[in-house]
Structure 1
Amino acid sequence: MRKADPPGRDVLRRAVGGQRRDVAVGGVLGMGHQTGEALVPVLIGLAIERGVVDGDAGGLVMWLVVLAVVYVGLSYSFRFAARAGERASVTAAHHLRIQLVDRVLAPEGGAAERRLPGELANTATEDAKRVGAVSMALVVAISASTGLAVGAVVLLRMSVPLGLLVLLGTPLLLWLGHLLSKPLERRSETEQERAARASGVAADLVAGLRVLKGIGAEQAAVARYRRISQDSLTATLRAARAEAWQNGVVTMLTGAFLTLVALVGGRLAARGDISLGELVSALALALFLIGPLSEFSWVNAELAQGRASAARIAEVLGAEHAVAQGAGALDRVEGGLRLRGLSYGPLHDVNLDVSPGETVGIVTVDPADASALLHCLARHADPDEGAVELDGTALTELGLAELRATLLIAEHDADLFEGTLLENVRAAAGPEAPVEAAITASGTDEVVGTLPDGADTEVTARGRSLSGGQRQRVALARALAADAPVLVLHEPATAVDAVTEVRMAAGLKELRHGRTTVLVTNSPALLAVTDRVVLLDRGSVVAADAHERLVHQHVAYRTAVLA
């Protein structure tokens, strides 16, 4: 039974196969270039034979003209071969980046689990680039092989011993080069893993810079990054040493091989087995062979790094989906939400009914309960037991795209994007969406009034040009503008002052009137505008009533929302 190929090899095969036209064109043109390069010593030898040995001026001029034509041909062949190879390399890397982005953003999720954003970015840039470079390496390998083959044939025609020496010695050198590339492949994989980890931690620290400064944890963060960065540097230096060692040993072996070719050719010329012109050609060919053999050293290094990066890409592309794609659809959306015996993580046997058009608050004593609940509602994960139903249909039966357009989860740590403030609000809004009403209801109109260009003010990546409270208001406006039939909001007002929070609560109640809304929050101002509130304690529903009554009658509730 044939052993299955490693996943990384499949990534390499598809990356190169997708660019086979450019690889083939580059390879053919590279073959022409190397053939011309191999013929140059022969033509020089013929020119010397005719002009110097035979004294034939006409023959000398003729062979010099032929030499000039060959130079022009090999020059253009090299130029267009390099262009085709580089195009194949860049295009393959681009397609891999698209595949990685598609996989990371796939509705089924799973690819980003246990991976920092910086790690994924490193995989989509550096690893994709290294795998793409394999296409260029193949073009170079085809070209170099042709140069070696033509050189061997020419040497065989001059002298069988010389030709056999090249034909037998070259495969041995290539095999040794392949063996020497194995340590580089292992160390390159480690280098990329640690570099990706360092990038991920750096991105994490930059994202949380304000928080770190606020709690005075800059020194601890710097120490952590310094340690991880040092690990990455150590791995990079080990990979560089492995590459330098490989290149050095291969260069030494190549030099010894070419010295042997030159010695054998010299002895044959001294015995009269080959002419002066043939000796010049043989020595020039021996020098020419340095190029193809050196290129094989580079090709081996590129292939080693490409295989290591392909394995990392395969891990992301082959990551298991967090949830399965459903095939069902809702004929009509009313907005009824129901949890039946839901158990997931810290939650166990949670039962809850939210009627269409109702506004329900959910208070959690433990924030982990809120996170688990949101994971199930958003279908980032499926419950261990029980089910979540939308209008009587289990979420697991619905297509993810339709589900997330119908049931919108606006999480607490929602990010903004580069673009204007208005573009951020309109990000998920349809043509008839209540954008202006959403801006007013969320209190974002106050933010607009403080910005230099109003709603057209540019927002930097992740909204870092805005304060925490401003970001929350814009994020809430974006969620409200989406006008989803069912909206779940998680702590949308933790970074605003009490007055703004009350205004946001009133605007939310007015704008979402008649639409199903779930507020997962411990904010008294927001809970005051709900129709009823459910209290989750130790993973179960322990109380459900109006906010005012729960405040007066339930100690655990009062502690959760007022403490």
Structure 2
Amino acid sequence: MSKADLPGRHVLRGAVRGQRRDVALGALLGMGHQTGEALVPVVIGLAIDEGVVDGDVGGLLMWLAVLAVVYVGLSYSFRFGARAGERASVTAAHHLRTALVERVLAPEGGACEGRLPGELANTATEDAKRVGAVAMALIVGIAAATGLAVGAIVLLRMSVPLGLLVLLGTPLLLWLVHLLSKPLERRSETEQERAARASGVAADLVAGLRVLKGIGAEPAAVARYRRISQDSLTATLRAARAEAWQNGVVTMLTGSFLALVALVGGRLAARGDIGLGELVSAVALALFLIGPLSEFSWVYAELAQGRASAARIAEVLGAGHAVRAPADGSALDRVEGRLRLRGVSYDSLRAVDLEVAPGETVGVVTVDPADATALLRCLARRADPAEGSVELDGTDLTTLRLAELRAAVLVAEHDADLFEGSLLENITAAAGPDAPVEAAVTASGTDEVVGTLPEGADTEVTARGRSLSGGQRQRVALARALAADAPVLVLHEPTTAVDAVTEARMAAGLKELRAGRTTLLVTNSPALLAVTDRVVLLDRGTVVAADAHERLVHQHGTYRGAVLA
């Protein structure tokens, strides 16, 4: 996995900056709420001094009215401030999810390298949510700081020693809380990484459940998931213990600090330095300060988790591109379909030369499956050759815009997934208005699949096509590739899950429908190779033979072993 060039702090700043209006509004209203909360003890103290000590009924009623106004103000401030904060958090998380999806689906690729689909899903959900929550944490932190500041100012006006105690003690307490959040941040990052890994493995196992059952590998799969899940649980428990330990220590420090404030205030009242109302206000303010100080513990925990999640998001967003596409790349006015590889070396491929004429159907047989994978990556331009070039109609693929290239050259891989929706929607996903959809359905043998389903082509397909059998999925995937009607079509083992009769029918339908269009069949299937114009054999990454399928079967032992074994 390549290290991301994008620092996590930039992700955090961008998330907050994008919601600065709601964050500012939430912070302003939160400051109003905390100011009102801090003023409540002051107003109560004034009411006691005038109404109880001095016996002024009018003054008592006036301060009670002021107290009612303060309560109404702080109530509305909290209500609308919380709404603004939640809106900022949810919107920031949504924008991060959108950015992650755009990066993962970017034609340049690179974001998925070394990551399981479930791991990416976890990053786009849980990590985005935690980074979005930082907006609310900032609002709460600013509001809590305001409450502390107002409380300190009021205490200074009552008594300089009390005010100085709060002003000097609060920064020290916050610094200690910050130090305590460091272990939580480290353990939170580990927890999120292992949780994402467990989610990815689970999704991977579910996707291959039928295969696992078919080969009797369920016990090994369960053991693997239990091991990874146990690692995730251990990390989660360590993070939970760190958070509980931090909260406990912070509560102890906060309580000790407030007890000290109350003790100093009581001694000042006993000496007559402050009055009865001021003593009540001081004690109430000391109790009030529990709220802001406790909120700082929550804020630091949220920031710690947000920073860890932001770093994970930054790894995906900042991942290097697998290929580079020029902004002003060459345009394809008309695609003839001439495909040429000149001395291509990539991964297991070694100086491969291959030319496919417009309208020709060529088979490619590989002794090593790694050669097929490398060839498909180069043709789809999910990777660029280390040496040599791949050309379309004489134009190097690296000079073409990726969108134009993908429209001209369709590489349909063996493990193509279906998506949720009707069968017809899956088939026509990449089809244009004039696409030969009915012909593609017939040529791929999907018409037989349609006939067996309760609602025909309108039957709903579950995620990744799990409601269909392996052979049915392959036929639908082939129909989708054929319906796209691309000038150049590259198919990789499209018939491995169907019976011999169906395979022969699909091969004939493919030849008929793609007549006059350039088609490359990367397969070891004799039925498909029989309908090609010629076949190229790749062995140990190089082209070792090229001829008609029948002649190669009779004259080339390596070819015969790869195709008929």
**What is the TM-score when the length of structure 1 is the normalising length?**
0.99
| 2:323 match: secondary structure | coil
Which of the residues 533, 536, 540 maps onto 2:535? Answer: 533
Listed as ranges, the matches of 1:220-369 within 5 Å are: 220-326=220-326, 327-369=329-371
Listed as ranges, the matches of 1:89-128 within 5 Å are: 89-128=89-128
Q: 2: CA distance between counterparts of 1:189 and 1:85?
A: 24
Offset at residue 45 of structure 1 (A): 0.6
Q: 2: CA distance between counterparts of 1:164 and 1:368?
A: 72
Deviates more, 1:323-332 or 1:396-405: 323-332
Q: 1: CA distance between counterparts of 2:411 and 2:192?
A: 35
Structure-1 residue corresponding to 2:485: 483
Structure-2 residue corresponding to 1:499: 501
Offset at residue 554 of structure 1 (A): 1.2
The one-letter code of the counterpart of 2:21 is R
| 1:383 match: secondary structure | coil
Structure-1 residue corresponding to 2:212: 212
Listed as ranges, the matches of 1:23-102 within 5 Å are: 23-102=23-102
Tell me if the contact between 2:6 and 2:318 (Cα under 8 Å) persists in the aligned partners.
no
Q: Deviations over 1:325-367 (max 9, x none)?
A: 1322223210000010011111101101100000001111111
The one-letter code of the counterpart of 1:553 is Q
The one-letter code of the counterpart of 2:512 is E
| 2:490 match: secondary structure | strand
Tell me if the contact between 2:6 and 2:314 (Cα under 8 Å) persists in the aligned partners.
no
Corresponding position: 1:447 with 2:449? yes
Q: 1: CA distance between counterparts of 2:520 and 2:212?
A: 32
The one-letter code of the counterpart of 1:77 is S
The one-letter code of the counterpart of 1:519 is L
Structure-1 residue corresponding to 2:557: 555
Q: 2: CA distance between counterparts of 1:353 and 1:210?
A: 39
Q: 2: CA distance between counterparts of 1:537 and 1:249?
A: 66
Q: 2: CA distance between counterparts of 1:311 and 1:366?
A: 39
Q: 1: CA distance between counterparts of 2:309 and 2:91?
A: 16
The one-letter code of the counterpart of 1:116 is L
Structure-1 residue corresponding to 2:178: 178
| 1:303 match: secondary structure | helix
Q: Deviations over 1:244-293 (max 9, x none)?
A: 11111111110000000000100110011100000000000000000000
Offset at residue 6 of structure 1 (A): 7.5
Listed as ranges, the matches of 1:125-164 within 5 Å are: 125-164=125-164
Q: Deviations over 1:513-562 (max 9, x none)?
A: 10000000111111111111111111111111111111111111111111
Tell me if the contact between 2:162 and 2:261 (Cα under 8 Å) persists in the aligned partners.
yes
Deviates more, 1:328-337 or 1:228-237: 328-337
Structure-2 residue corresponding to 1:381: 383
Offset at residue 219 of structure 1 (A): 0.6
In the alignment, structure 2 segments of 5+ residues that lack a partner are none
Q: Deviations over 1:55-75 (max 9, x none)?
A: 111111111111011101100
Q: 2: CA distance between counterparts of 1:229 and 1:369?
A: 35
Q: Deviations over 1:174-205 (max 9, x none)?
A: 11111110000000000000000000000010
Q: Deviations over 1:368-413 (max 9, x none)?
A: 1111100110111111111110000111111111101100000000
The one-letter code of the counterpart of 1:548 is E
Tell me if the contact between 2:144 and 2:292 (Cα under 8 Å) persists in the aligned partners.
yes
Q: 2: CA distance between counterparts of 1:211 and 1:353?
A: 37
| 2:489 match: secondary structure | strand
Offset at residue 96 of structure 1 (A): 0.5
Which of the residues 432, 437, 453 maps onto 1:435? Answer: 437
Tell me if the contact between 2:50 and 2:59 (Cα under 8 Å) persists in the aligned partners.
yes
Q: Deviations over 1:97-142 (max 9, x none)?
A: 1111111111111110001111111111111111100000000011
The one-letter code of the counterpart of 2:453 is L
| 1:471 match: secondary structure | helix
Structure-1 residue corresponding to 2:14: 14
The one-letter code of the counterpart of 2:430 is A
Q: 1: CA distance between counterparts of 2:287 and 2:558?
A: 86
Structure-1 residue corresponding to 2:398: 396
Q: 1: CA distance between counterparts of 2:324 and 2:478?
A: 29
The one-letter code of the counterpart of 1:64 is L
Q: Deviations over 1:474-533 (max 9, x none)?
A: 000000000000000000000001111011011101110100000001111111111111
The one-letter code of the counterpart of 2:130 is R
| 1:534 match: secondary structure | strand
Q: 2: CA distance between counterparts of 1:390 and 1:301?
A: 55
The one-letter code of the counterpart of 2:224 is R
Moved over 3 A (4+): none
Q: 1: CA distance between counterparts of 2:430 and 2:333?
A: 22
Q: 2: CA distance between counterparts of 1:113 and 1:159?
A: 63
Offset at residue 218 of structure 1 (A): 0.6
Q: 2: CA distance between counterparts of 1:355 and 1:514?
A: 10
The one-letter code of the counterpart of 2:385 is P
Structure-2 residue corresponding to 1:426: 428
**Identity percentage over the alignment?**
87
The one-letter code of the counterpart of 1:252 is M
The one-letter code of the counterpart of 1:98 is T
Q: Deviations over 1:421-479 (max 9, x none)?
A: 00000000011101111001000000000000000000000000000000000000000
The one-letter code of the counterpart of 2:295 is E
**What is the TM-score when the length of structure 2 is the normalising length?**
0.98
| 2:134 match: secondary structure | helix
Structure-1 residue corresponding to 2:195: 195
| 2:331 match: secondary structure | coil
Q: 2: CA distance between counterparts of 1:546 and 1:226?
A: 51
Q: 1: CA distance between counterparts of 2:497 and 2:225?
A: 28
The one-letter code of the counterpart of 1:416 is L
Offset at residue 44 of structure 1 (A): 0.6
Q: Deviations over 1:144-185 (max 9, x none)?
A: 011001101110110111111111111111111111100000
Structure-2 residue corresponding to 1:412: 414
The one-letter code of the counterpart of 1:546 is A
| 2:524 match: secondary structure | coil
Q: 1: CA distance between counterparts of 2:151 and 2:539?
A: 80
Q: 2: CA distance between counterparts of 1:69 and 1:187?
A: 45
The one-letter code of the counterpart of 1:547 is H
Tell me if the contact between 2:377 and 2:383 (Cα under 8 Å) persists in the aligned partners.
yes
Structure-2 residue corresponding to 1:169: 169
Q: 2: CA distance between counterparts of 1:141 and 1:537?
A: 64
